[in-house]
Amino acid sequence: MTAVPVEVRRLLRRVARTLAWGQAWAWAVRGVTIAAAASLAWALLGTVIPLSLPPLLVLAAGLAAALLLALARGVLPVRDLAPAARVADAELRLRERVSTALDLATGRIPATALADQVLRDAAATARDALPGARLRPAWPGGTRRALLVVSLAALASVLVPGFSLPATPARETAVRIKREGRRLEQVAKQLEQLARTERAPQARRTAPEVRSLARELQRERMDRSAALARIAALERQLEAARRQLSQRIGEALNPQAPAQIPESLFRPTTTLDQNIRQLRELAARLSQEQNVEGQRDDLLAQLAQLSQSGEGQLPIEARRKLEEARRKTEAGDTAGGREALTEAIQELEGLRAVLADENALRMTERELERSSMRIARGAGPESAEEVERGETRTAPPGPGTKRLQEQEGEAVGAPPQPGPNEGSTPGQGKIAEKLGPQSPRLDAEAQRSRVRGQEGQGQLQTTELLGPGRKQPARAPAVNVSPLVVRRADEHMARARVPADLRAVVRRYFLALAQRR
Amino acid sequence: MEPEQFRQTFLRLKAEIQKVIVGYEALIEEVLTALVAGGHVLLEGVPGLGKTLLVKTLAQALELHYSRIQFTPDLMPADIIGTNVVMQDEAGRRFFEFQRGPIFSQIVLADEINRATPKTQSALLEAMQEHAVTAAGVHNMLEEPFFVLATQNPIEMEGTYPLPEAQVDRFLFKLRVLFPALDDLVKIMDRTTGPELPAVERVTSGATILAMQTLAREVAVAAHVKDYVARVVRATHPEGEGTASMAKRFVRYGASPRGAQALLLAAKVRALLAERANVSFEDLRAVSLPALRHRVILNFEGEAEGADPDDIVRNALEETPELTRVRR
C-alpha cells in the first residue's frame, strides 16, 4: 500500500463532506415524509378512536426527530472515501483517475507497474480540479412528495380533529365531551350563585371562565386532546389562584407558619362562623348601655377567652383587635371597645370571604378533574362513584319484564332468573322440549301416478345428406401448452435454419395460434 | 516500454495503414486495438471494401509473417494446420515429415471463413485460443505475436456455415466494415487507379507489439469499474439479476466471461491511447460494441423481429448504472 496523494485526499474530503450533507438532506426528506404520513394517519385515526395526542403535536415531533437525525448524519465524520472518489470522478469528469488511485493506495486492487503513474496522474488531476471542485447540489428524490405529504398532514391536523365517524368510539367520546360541557355549565351557575351569597370575588371571576370552557366543550368540533388541554389549562389557572388564596389565609392566621391551615376552617359550618356570630352578639351587647355595667365581667371573660383560644383559628389581626376591645371595655371606654370589636368582625368576615373563594375554587377544580377523567376514559364504563350518585342511566326494562317478574313472584328490579322460553326478554335457559302440541297431519297415503304416452305410428326414414358441414367450434378446444414444451419449441425454432424471409411468416403463424388460445 | 512510447507507436502504425486504406479510421484503430490487446478480429462486410488489403497492409507495416487462407467448402483442417508428408532421404529411406500449413504465420487472414465446414473452422480453435497447433500428437507453438483476422460476408448466405458460438467467442472483436463515404470513395479511386501505388514502410516489429501487449495488461482498473464490466456482461443475459429489457426479450444466450475479458483488455489499450494508466467508463463504452456484439445470441423472437445485437448491447449499457452504491 502507498499513501494517497495529498491533493487527492483534500479533494476527496471536500467531496465526502458534500456527499454527507447530501445524504443528510435525503434522510431529512425521507424522515419528514414518514413523520408527515404518520401524522396524517394519526389524524385520520382520530376520527375513529379518541386520541389524547393532537396530530399537530405528532407532526411537529416527527419533523423535529427527522431533522435531528439528518443533522447528525451531516455532522458525523466520513471514514470511507471510496464513494466520494467515485462521485468525484463522475461529477468532475476525472475519468476514474481518483478512484483508481485510491483503490491502488488502499490496496483494494493489486499494484501494477503503472501504479505510480496512476497516482501521479490522479494527484495532478486533483490539483487542477481542486480550485473549482464544487459538486452540483443534488435534489434528493421525493422532495416534492415530502412537501405534498407535509402540506396534507398540516391541513389534516388543523381540519380533521373534531370530526368523528358515526358509531365509533370517537363519536361516543364527542358525545361525552358535550355532556361534560353541559355539566360544567351547571357548575358555572353554582359558582355564580356562591359568589353572590358568599360575596366571593374570586368565585365571581372564575364563573365566566368555567362557563366559557363549558361552551367550548359543547362546540361541534372538539376532540379529546383539545378538550383535555383546555380543561388542564383552566385547572392550572385555578390551582395557581387557589394557592394564592391559601397563602393569604395562612399568613392571616399565622404569619410564622403560613402553610399550616386548620382543616376545620374548610368545613361548611366552621368555627369562624360561630366566632363571627358570637362577636356580633357581643357587639350588640356592648351597644346596649344599660346592660354593660351589669354584664361587663361576663363580656370581658368571653372576649379574653376568644382572643386566647382563637390562636391558629382566627387571624392575628382579629385577635389583636379583640384584645384591644377587651382592654378598652375594661377601662370603661365602651365606644372604643365596640369600635375595636367591629373591626375584628370585619377582619373575620374578610377571612370568611377568602375561605369561601378558596372552597369554591377547590370545588371547581374537583369538577374539572372529574370531567377530565370522564373524557379521558371516553365511552368506557362509568365509575362506581357515578353509579352511586345515580348519574349512570340504567337500561329501561324491556316489554314484558314486569309481567314476567310478577309471574315469578319476584320484586321488580331483581336480576332475571334463568327463565321460561317465552316473552320478549332474552332468556338464559335452553329449550328442552317443543312448545305446544304437534300440529295435525293429513291422514292419507301417498300415491304415485304417471301419465302413459302413446306409441307413434308411421314409417321411419333415414336419408344421407351431402353438403358442407355446419360451422361450429372445434370439439377439442385450444388449451395452454406446458411451459416446458413452449421453451423447447422456442429453442428448436431458434436453432432451426429458417430462411430470413420466412421468419416473419412463421412468427405470424405462432402469434395467431397464441391469440386463439 | 513507456506509455508515451506505446501511444506513439500505435499512432505511427495507424498513420502508416491510413496511407493505403482510405477512411475507416475507427476500423483501423479497432483492429490495432485488438492486435495490441492480443485478440483476434472478425471482419464482417460485403466484398470489395478493402478488408483483405487492410490485413495485408498491417502485415507489411509490422513486417510480420503473413498468410491468407481462402475458406471454401472443400477446405480440410489439414490444409490449414499442415500434414505429415512421406519424404525420402538421400539413402532412400522414407519418413514422415510435418509440413506446416498456412496457420504457421503471425498474421493470418481467414478469408470468407463461413464458407468452410464447421470441422475446418474448428481447426482454428486451438490456434486462436492457445497460440499452438497439435498435429499427429505433436504440439507446435506458433510464433508470437499471432493475430487472426477473419472475414465473412453478411449478405450471401447460400452455401455457408455460420460460425459456431465457440468459434465466434474466440474473436476479441467483431467489426462491421461499412460502405465508405462519398469523399472516401473518390479518394480510393484516386489512390488505386493512378500510376503509383502507395508504399508501406515498416513501422515496428513483432517484439514491440509484444511489449505493447505486456504494457496494456499493466493498466490499473478500479474495483467499481470491474464491477461495472461484470454487470454489463450480466445484463446481456436473458435471465438473472440486472438483466436489460431488450436482452430479456430477444436474447437466448448472453455474452460469455470471454466477453468481459475482451471488454476490459480493449479498454486498457484505449486508456493508454488516451494518455491514462487507468481504465475509465468511457473506455468501456467505446469498446463495448465490437467486444460484445458477436457474443449475444438472439432467440427466435429476436431473429424474427430483426433485433440488432448492437442495440441490445447499447440497451444493456444504458440500463446498467455506473455507480450503484453511492447515493447523492
Count of A-B CB contacts under 8 Å: 95
The CA distance from A38 to the nearest CA of chain B, in Å, is 25
| Mean pLDDT, residues B293-309 taken together | 87
Query: Distance between terminal CA atoms of chain B?
Result: 41
B274: nearest CA in chain A? A95
Domains and CATH numbers, chain B: 3-193 (3.40.50.300), 219-318 (1.10.8.80)
The CA distance from B106 to the nearest CA of chain A, in Å, is 28
Distance CA B328, CA A23 (A): 6
Partners of B327 on chain A (C-beta within 8 Å) are 22-23, 26
Look at B220 and A22 and tell me if their CB atoms are within 8 Å. no
User: How many Cα atoms within 13 Å fall on the side-chain side of residue B123?
Assistant: 24
Look at A100 and B274 and tell me if their CB atoms are within 8 Å. no
Look at B221 and A97 and tell me if their CB atoms are within 8 Å. no
Q: Is any Cβ of chain A less than 8 angstroms from the Cβ of B141?
A: no
Residue A268 scores a pLDDT above 80: no
Residue A273 scores a pLDDT above 80: no
Reported as a pLDDT band with limits 50, 70 and 90, residue A413 is very low
Residue B266 scores a pLDDT above 90: yes
Residues 7-26 of B with CB under 8 A from A: none
**Average pLDDT in chain B:** 87
Q: Is any Cβ of chain A less than 8 angstroms from the Cβ of B323?
A: yes
Partners of A26 on chain B (C-beta within 8 Å) are 327-328
Residue A259 scores a pLDDT above 70: no
CB-nearest to B299 from A23, A117, A494 is A494
Cβ–Cβ < 8 Å for B315, B245: yes
CB-nearest to A112 from B218, B224, B323 is B218
Partners of B273 on chain A (C-beta within 8 Å) are none
Distance CA B287, CA B145 (A): 22
Partners of B221 on chain A (C-beta within 8 Å) are 100, 109
The CA distance from A98 to the nearest CA of chain B, in Å, is 9
**Average pLDDT in chain A:** 77
| Mean pLDDT, residues A283-302 taken together | 70
Look at B304 and A503 and tell me if their CB atoms are within 8 Å. yes
What are B250's three cell numbers?
A: 430477444
Residue A408 scores a pLDDT above 90: no
The CA distance from B25 to the nearest CA of chain A, in Å, is 24
- Phi, psi (deg, nearest 5) at residue B97: -130, 135
CB-nearest to A490 from B300, B322, B328 is B300
**Of A50-59, A298-307, A356-365, B253-262, which has the strongest mean pLDDT?**
B253-262
Q: What pLDDT was estimated at residue B73?
A: 87
Partners of B278 on chain A (C-beta within 8 Å) are 95-97, 100-101, 118, 121
Partners of B301 on chain A (C-beta within 8 Å) are 507
Look at B328 and A87 and tell me if their CB atoms are within 8 Å. yes
Q: Which of A244-258, A281-295, A347-361, A399-413 has the lowest mean pLDDT?
A: A399-413
Give the residue with greater pLDDT, B196 vs A234: A234
Reported as a pLDDT band with limits 50, 70 and 90, residue B265 is very high
The CA distance from A96 to the nearest CA of chain B, in Å, is 5
Q: Is any Cβ of chain A less than 8 angstroms from the Cβ of B308?
A: no
- The residue behind cell 355564580 is A192
Determine whether A459 is exposed, middle or buried from the number of CB atoms within 10 Å of its CB (0-12, 13-18, 19+).
exposed
**Of A305-309, A324-328, A401-405, B205-209, which has the strongest mean pLDDT?**
B205-209
CA-wise closest residue to A352 among A144, A228, A201: A201
The CA distance from A29 to the nearest CA of chain B, in Å, is 13
| Mean pLDDT, residues A325-338 taken together | 81
- Phi, psi (deg, nearest 5) at residue B161: -125, 105
Cβ–Cβ < 8 Å for B275, B260: no
Q: What pLDDT was estimated at residue B178?
A: 85
Partners of A514 on chain B (C-beta within 8 Å) are none
Give the residue with greater pLDDT, A474 vs B55: B55
Helix runs in A4-131, H state only: 6-45, 55-75, 82-91, 97-106, 115-129
Look at B278 and A100 and tell me if their CB atoms are within 8 Å. yes
Distance CA A477, CA B252 (A): 31
What are A244's three cell numbers?
A: 394564592
The CA distance from B290 to the nearest CA of chain A, in Å, is 21
Residue B214 scores a pLDDT above 90: yes
Residue A428 scores a pLDDT above 60: no
Q: Which one of A96, A118, A509 would you mutate to disrupt binding with B, by most B Cβ within 10 Å of its Cβ?
A: A96
What would the pLDDT profile of A440-449 be if each residue is shown by its tens digit?
777 777 777 7
Give the residue with greater pLDDT, A277 vs B308: B308
Reported as a pLDDT band with limits 50, 70 and 90, residue B239 is confident
Give the residue with greater pLDDT, A280 vs B147: B147
Look at A96 and B274 and tell me if their CB atoms are within 8 Å. no
Antiparallel, parallel or unpaired: β B41-44 and B173-176 = parallel
DSSP B295: G
* Complex-level ipTM: 0.83
Q: Is any Cβ of chain A less than 8 angstroms from the Cβ of B262?
A: no
**Of A76-80, A279-283, A313-317, A369-373, which has the strongest mean pLDDT?**
A369-373
Look at A83 and B325 and tell me if their CB atoms are within 8 Å. yes
| Mean pLDDT, residues A458-473 taken together | 71
Antiparallel, parallel or unpaired: β B107-111 and B147-152 = parallel
Q: What pLDDT was estimated at residue A290?
A: 55
Residue A392 scores a pLDDT above 50: no
Amino acid at B19: K
Look at A103 and B220 and tell me if their CB atoms are within 8 Å. yes
Distance CA B324, CA B241 (A): 14
Look at A95 and B282 and tell me if their CB atoms are within 8 Å. yes
| Mean pLDDT, residues B260-277 taken together | 93
Partners of A508 on chain B (C-beta within 8 Å) are none
Q: What pLDDT was estimated at residue A446?
A: 75
Partners of B215 on chain A (C-beta within 8 Å) are 113-114
The CA distance from B252 to the nearest CA of chain A, in Å, is 8
Look at A138 and B280 and tell me if their CB atoms are within 8 Å. no
CB-nearest to A95 from B276, B300, B301 is B276
What would the pLDDT profile of B145-156 be if each residue is shown by its tens digit?
899 999 888 776
CA-wise closest residue to A262 among A314, A301, A336: A314
Look at B277 and A22 and tell me if their CB atoms are within 8 Å. no
Give the residue with greater pLDDT, A398 vs A63: A63
Q: What pLDDT was estimated at residue A412?
A: 42
Residue A457 scores a pLDDT above 50: yes
Please name the residues in contact with B33: beta carbons below 8 A apart, sequence gap of 6 or more.
B173, B266, B269, B270, B273, B287
Q: What pLDDT was estimated at residue B50?
A: 81
Q: What pLDDT was estimated at residue B140?
A: 85
Look at A90 and B274 and tell me if their CB atoms are within 8 Å. no
- The residue behind cell 501505388 is B197
What would the pLDDT profile of A192-246 be if each residue is shown by its tens digit?
888 888 778 888 888 899 999 998 888 877 878 888 889 999 999 888 888 888 8
